[in-house]
Amino acid sequence: MATLQKLRNNKITPIAIGVAMLLFVVTLFLKQGGGEGERDAFNLNGKTLDINAFNAMVEETENYYSTMQLLTTGQKYDFNNEEVAQIREMVYQQYISNQMLEEECEKLGITVTNEELQNIIKTGNNPRLMQNPVFAQQGAFSFTALQQFLKQHDEMSKNPQVSPEEREMMDRVYRMWLYTEKELRKDVLTNKYQTLLASLMLSNPISAKQHFEASNNETEVLLAAVPYTSIEDKDVKVEDSDIQAKYNEKKEAFYRFNQSRDLKFIDVIINASKEDEEALQNEMNNFAEQMQAADANIENIVRRSQSTIAYIGMPVSKDMYASVPGVAACLDTMAVNTQTAPFRCLEDNTMNIVKLMDKITRPDSIEIREIDVVFGKDQEASKKSADSIYTALQAGQSIDSIAKFYNQTAEKHWVTSQMYESGQMDKTYTEAITSAAAGSYNKIELPNGIAIFQVTDRRNMEEKYQVAVIKREIAFGNETSTNNFNKLSTFVASNKTVKDMEKNSKGEFNIQTLEEVQPMQPAIANIADSREIIRWAYNEDTKVGDVSEIFYCGKKREHLVVAVLTAIHEEGYADAKEEVIKNQLRQLVIADKKAAMIQDKMKNAKSIAEVAQIKGAVQDTIQNITFANTTYIQKTGAREVSISGAASAAAKDKFVAGIRGEEAVYAFKVINKTAKATYNAKENEKEEMMKAAQEKASMALSGTFDMYRGGMTDMRNPNNIFYNNYKNAKKKDNRILFF
């Protein structure tokens, strides 16, 4: 942290970062062995990336976000397995996207030179540069700060006297910069390609005016909607021919970019037994007796109890316990030096003991100034210096003059309860400054030295509580876990097929279905640490109908899961006869038929009042509708592009009925039309033509390379410029062999 403070003191100050950061730490398991090709993470059009290179990319991404977190908040973050899997997937998809972009740019001769990149860095206006807190000064990227840091890093790397902590921090920031520089190159290449696309997009004065009006002309309508849910599914007849026709229409949406698996599984959640609860109750009773003893060492008792709430050991505001279920509510009614009997808190499934040891009034904010004497090799000499300073201050000598003699400032600064109640400040020091009277000088010895301070102001006096809490989860024991395992194991041994399991479960075991399980999903059914089940399903030895072993899953191994592989789906167009696909198609057909039925009911309507008489109809007034934006209809919970278009095109006082949407059929009457701005060809035409072209180019590049079937719809749209490139690419993803 010393290096972090140095960076801040050098005015390389963190700024607020307006980005949704993915914060992960990567724990990577490398598969041993391997001849040629056995270490490949994946292959795209003959270009392979081996697992070591992939791991390095993941690590540099992890370092970027974790260092960003450390610099902006000063705190590290513990990451779970699911987050680790997410960062791997993000790196993979970004790599594939970049590879395809680079292939296109290579054909077109589009490059980013080192000189060009350095000029962009020197200018410092790129948004990615301005996100970096280390090189930000006064809200902007500082090339000077970057140069100073790189020089400092180079000097420190050659200096053997640099501490391991400082070296690690400097290396973190250096690697974060290398990542930023690499991503900046990708950004520039993408912008060049998009600019080229924009120059190829046709535009004209008429479309320029339409583009302007699409954003600036607003419509207000009185609307009535008849949701599809107003008609029950059973009242809609669906033929096989309907399903096939819908498949032919939407075939591209059912292309799988990779394999998937269907599973059925039993998930047994292990809960504490009556015996487990009784055992915990006995333990808590024992700790309660120990806490009541006159000579009780409260800190030691709380520690031995394995309480999930650490003993703070000083008075703090009640707000410190606001997020701890069952504790804050006790404090208002408790007398000092009393404690609760062990009680159960249903909110977090725990047993609790709360002891109020003290309740005093303390300031929420304290203004202090101080002189610090740091212990040197001769501690006695340091103590004598501190005594001399303290004596001189009491005799009336100026604290500013003494501080200046010791190369300190003794500037006044505020210490708030948020700072000292977080546990980051020494308890002895906290007790001294919060209890000291304003005006007097005080001396306190700390582990690393002596602080001589004066409290100059105390504000916002409030009640502070010194509390000891023993909080224990009502958890299952080993015997309970074993009993649950044996029960499930006996059932599986007696029912070797999924058909037998469903027939004989008799409600005791709930058999669930999972469709389209992807190879790199971090978990199944949101069950933590269930990745091994997916690895089992994709093992080359696992066949359809096979039953897995019983897996222990969950953060506390509280889930017992057994799975059955029910289907294997290969890459390519899904078969319309597959149950999962057939069900999806059926729902699309039902929506079509419901829409037609509702439109038929609306066809003779002449007003909103008449549409409102249809069973299930709802009404609303929708304002600020523009052609450029999707309209949100609160009464149906849908975002409806069709309303944006139809309402923008309709004249004032026009009644329109039978507009099909995503969740309903709509009718509306235009009650007002306004223009936020008036189009002026001389002033607006050139800019609007450019905007329209850029938007078309952006749409052509839109989408993420989420290869999950049924994933991002824009990747299934042939208008996406890379859609067919990726679809027809020669690719092989081996990551499941390693993760």
Q: Tell me the per-residue pLDDT of 380-415, one tens digit each, with 9 for 90 and over.
A: 988 999 999 999 998 888 999 998 888 888 899 898
pLDDT at 719: 58
Q: Are strands 140-141 and 655-660 parallel, antiparallel or unpaired?
A: unpaired
Asked, for residue 650, whether it belongs to a domain, the answer is: yes
| Residue 20: φ, ψ to 5° | -85, 100
The pLDDT tens digits of the residues spanning 349-362 come to: 999 999 999 999 98
| Same domain (yes/no): 366, 334 | yes
Whether residue 709 has pLDDT greater than 50: no
Q: Which of 569, 594, 624 is the last residue of a domain?
A: 569
Q: For the beta carbon of residue 657, count every other beta carbon within 10 angstroms.
A: 21
d(CA 698, CA 729): 23
% residues pLDDT > 70 (the chain): 92
Highest mean pLDDT among 83-97, 155-169, 190-204, 658-672: 658-672
% residues pLDDT > 90 (the chain): 61
| Same domain (yes/no): 184, 295 | no
The pLDDT tens digits of the residues spanning 729-739 come to: 888 899 999 99
Tokens of 634: 């609160």
If you ran DSSP here, which 8-state letter would residue 547 be given? B
Average pLDDT value for residue range 483-496: 97
Whether residue 204 has pLDDT greater than 90: no
Q: Report the mean per-residue pLDDT for the chain.
A: 88
Whether residue 672 has pLDDT greater than 90: yes
| Same domain (yes/no): 344, 251 | no
Asked, for residue 207, whether it belongs to a domain, the answer is: no
| Same domain (yes/no): 282, 170 | no
The pLDDT tens digits of the residues spanning 175-199 come to: 999 999 999 999 999 999 988 888 8
* Cβ 520 vs Cβ 85: under 8 Å: yes
Number of structural domains the chain divides into: 4
DSSP string, 617-681: -EEEEEEEE-TTSPEEETTTTEEEHHHHHHHHHSPTT-EEEEEE-SSEEEEEEEEEEEESS---H
Highest mean pLDDT among 415-419, 443-447, 637-641: 637-641
Asked, for residue 110, whether it belongs to a domain, the answer is: yes
| Same domain (yes/no): 317, 442 | yes
Asked, for residue 225, whether it belongs to a domain, the answer is: yes
Q: Return the C-alpha torsion angle 47, 53, 58, 60, nearest 10.
A: -120
With a CB cutoff of 8 Å and minimum separation 6, the contacts of 485 are: 550, 560
| Same domain (yes/no): 59, 143 | yes
| Same domain (yes/no): 488, 436 | no
Higher pLDDT, 667 or 81: 667
Asked, for residue 270, whether it belongs to a domain, the answer is: no
Residue 24's pLDDT band (cuts 50, 70, 90): very low
Provide the residue range defining the domain that includes 235.
Answer: 218-256+579-675
Q: Which of 427, 451, 473 is the last residue of a domain?
A: 473
* Cβ 562 vs Cβ 548: under 8 Å: yes
Whether residue 504 has pLDDT greater than 90: yes
Q: What is this structure's pTM?
A: 0.74
* Cβ 174 vs Cβ 654: under 8 Å: no
Q: Which of 473, 503, 523 is the last residue of a domain?
A: 473
The pLDDT tens digits of the residues spanning 289-339 come to: 999 998 899 999 999 999 999 998 888 988 888 889 999 989 888 999 999
Closest to 221 in 3D by CA, of 519, 626, 503: 626
Asked, for residue 235, whether it belongs to a domain, the answer is: yes
| Same domain (yes/no): 33, 127 | yes
| Same domain (yes/no): 505, 551 | yes
| Same domain (yes/no): 236, 320 | no
| Same domain (yes/no): 536, 602 | no
Asked, for residue 688, whether it belongs to a domain, the answer is: no
Asked, for residue 268, whether it belongs to a domain, the answer is: no
Tokens of 574: 């899904």
Residue 21's pLDDT band (cuts 50, 70, 90): very low
Whether residue 517 has pLDDT greater than 60: yes
| Same domain (yes/no): 251, 350 | no
Q: Is 438 helix (H, G, I), strand (E, B) or coil?
A: coil
d(CA 735, CA 92): 10
